[in-house]
Amino acid sequence: MEMVDVRLQLPKDIIKAVQTQDAQLETALWQKIVLELYREETISFGKAAELFGMTKWDFTDLLKEKSVPLPYDEDDLEEDLKMLKDAALW
């Protein structure tokens, strides 16, 4: 994946709010950006999991840990039920 360096100035209060050691600050901020892009549906579930270097199952666990909801509506439920019926699992 091609990466681009970005310079960003932030108030000290924001840095303190992240509550991490300086060595881990870049990673912590990067993860917060990826989670927010996913939450806003700017990037897909699969892309966010890939950016975190996680399996989809592990990323699901991370979303639960961070209280980020999985978008799942009635259409998704109907599609899942149809798939289960077609597979004779329901």
pLDDT at 90 over 60: no
User: SS3 string of 1-63?
Assistant: CCCCCCCCCCCHHHHHHHCCCHHHHHHHHHHHHHHHHHHCCCCCHHHHHHHHCCCHHHHHHHH
The pTM (predicted TM-score) of the whole model is 0.70
Boundaries of every domain in the chain: 12-86
Q: 85: which 2 tokens?
A: 């019926």
Residue with token string 């300086």: 22
Q: pLDDT tens, 10-42?
A: 898 888 888 777 778 888 898 999 999 999 989
First to last CA, the chain: 40
pLDDT at 88 over 80: no
Q: 63: which 2 tokens?
A: 């979303």
Q: Using a pLDDT cut of 90, give the percent of the chain over it.
A: 37
